[in-house]
Amino acid sequence: MLAPTETQYGLCCDADSEFAVSSVTSCKGKPHTEPMAVFVRSWLDAQAIIPQQSPQVERLVTTFWPGPLTVVLQSKRRAWSGILGTQGRIGLRCSSHIVIASMLTATGKFLTATSANPHGVTPSANSDQLINWFGDSVELFIFDSNLGDDSKPSTVVDCTGTEPQVIREGAISREAVLQSWRIGR
CATH of the domain at 77: 3.90.870.10
Q: How many CB atoms lie within 10 A of CB 36?
A: 26
Per the CB < 8 A criterion, the answer to whether 185 and 171 are in contact is no
Structural domain count, the chain: 1
Which residues form the domain of 51? 2-182
Task: Quick: pLDDT tens for 62-97.
Answer: 999 999 999 999 999 999 999 998 799 999 999 999
Mean pLDDT (whole number) for 150-179? 94
Give the Cα-Cα-Cα angle 77, 78, 83 (nearest 5 degrees). Answer: 70
> What is the predicted pLDDT for the residue at 140?
87
Question: Can you give the pTM of this predicted structure?
Answer: 0.93
Give the chain's radius of gyration (CA, Å). 16
164: cis peptide before it, omega within 30°?
A: no
